Structure 1
Amino acid sequence: MPETGSRTRVALLSHCLANQNAKVDEYALCPGVVSPVVAILKEFGYAIQQMPCPEMAFLGVNRWWQVKEQYDTPGFRRHCRNLAFSVAELLEARVARGCEDLVLVGVDGSGSSAVTFTGIGPAWGGRPEDMSWEVVPGKGVWIEELEQVLAERGLPVPRGFGVAMELPGFTMEKAMAEFRGFLAAGRAGLDAQQ
């Protein structure tokens, strides 16, 4: 643990990347932690702050998959904002101690936790059978609300990376190469500023 006053790197980690058991049935790719993500964060010297799972806390463990339109409701947004306040409070303490880099690692394809590409399906409703959906640039509802709360509290909005586990064609090897590049580019940018 860094000493008081030392500068740290902090990663806000989507809950399901530290615990795949929080995922909707059939979407977990690992029996628990997505260890390559955590190993790379540790290698680059990031302190990990696991975030809560807004979907599981709101809908429970027996939920089915959803797209952004289904999460984009006043009740779910309010729920996400309440969770975001707890994340912001913990982050305030870390930032006060000195945070040289802040990243958010989400799950692209998610209607809730996406960072760069989210899943949409305007016609979704009723039974979750054979529904078509598409991937578009954008953030999930949870990430939108989290970033808004951080900005409102004067905290830095983190650089974001989405592990595209829910997108067609995903491979862990390719995703982790991209993740390393994302973290390395951030480190290079910080070194250039000093």
Structure 2
Amino acid sequence: MRKRIILISHCFLNDAAKLKNQPVKEQAEERRKKRTLLGDLIKSGIDMIQLPCPEFYLYGSERWGHAASQFDHPFYRQEVRRMLEPILLQVESYLERPDRFEILGVIGIDGSPSCGVHDTYDGDWGGEFCGPVPVQETIDTLKREEKPGVFMEVLRTMLKERGICLPFYSLDSFEESLREQA
């Protein structure tokens, strides 16, 4: 029987990497869903490869929320590529043995400016909290957009460059996929 493997966003196993000041109810609900899915993965015998958290790696534990456009620049994309290279070498190694391993895909966190799979938050974010534009006016520009986060976009591109096609799932869409397989 082949070992089934899924790549997962870093915060599935490490909530400490999340933003310092997230809304408590939203964070608790996301954590509950992640823990439920992790339990289902373990019960199903699916092994996991934890992806790095580019936001924590580059900005640390004291960061505040960002918009996707803040990460959409050459330096961030270059650093993400560097972080992902060892992961992709693992994926390639597993794929060399299809008789032993099956890579099921990638699970990200929708809404994340880095790890969103189907959607992310973007807007006219950035700058100082004091200045000519009131903070609330800036916050009001943030909208959920139907596009992937920058990290997931780079991961998909790097996989494609290697001729690897994997499905990308959100937390919710992978739960649905598991139920369909059961």
Q: After superposition, where does 1:95-110 map in structure 2 within 5 Å?
A: 95-98=95-98, 99-110=101-112
The answer as to whether partners of 1:116 and 1:138 remain within 8 angstroms in 2 is yes
Task: Give the match's secondary structure for 1:66.
Answer: coil
Tell me which amino acid in the other structure corresponds to 2:165: V
CA distance in 2, matches of 1:181, 1:101: 18
What's the offset of the Cα at 1:101?
Answer: 4.3
CA distance in 2, matches of 1:138, 1:46: 28
Structure 1: segments with no counterpart, 5+ residues: 1-5, 164-174, 189-194
In the alignment, which residue of structure 2 is the partner of 1:157?
165
Which has the higher mean CA deviation after the structures are superposed, 59-68 or 39-48? 39-48
Aligned sequence identity (%): 30
Q: Does 1:115 align with 2:117?
A: yes
The answer as to whether partners of 1:8 and 1:100 remain within 8 angstroms in 2 is yes
CA distance in 1, matches of 2:46, 2:55: 25
The answer as to whether partners of 1:17 and 1:37 remain within 8 angstroms in 2 is no
Q: Does 1:16 align with 2:24?
A: no
CA distance in 1, matches of 2:104, 2:49: 11
Which structure has the higher relative contact order (CA within 8 Å, separation 6+)? 2
Tell me which amino acid in the other structure corresponds to 2:158: V
Tell me which amino acid in the other structure corresponds to 2:18: K
What's the offset of the Cα at 1:183?
Answer: 2.6
In the alignment, which residue of structure 2 is the partner of 1:139?
148
Q: Deviations over 1:22-64 (max 9, x none)?
A: 0111235388x94212112223331100111111111111111
Task: Give the match's secondary structure for 1:125.
Answer: coil
Q: Does 1:81 align with 2:90?
A: no
Tell me which amino acid in the other structure corresponds to 1:60: G
Say what the alpha-carbon RMSD is for the aligned residues. Answer: 2.4
Structure 2: segments with no counterpart, 5+ residues: 130-134
CA distance in 1, matches of 2:65, 2:11: 14
Tell me which amino acid in the other structure corresponds to 2:36: P
Q: TM-score, normalised by structure 2?
A: 0.81
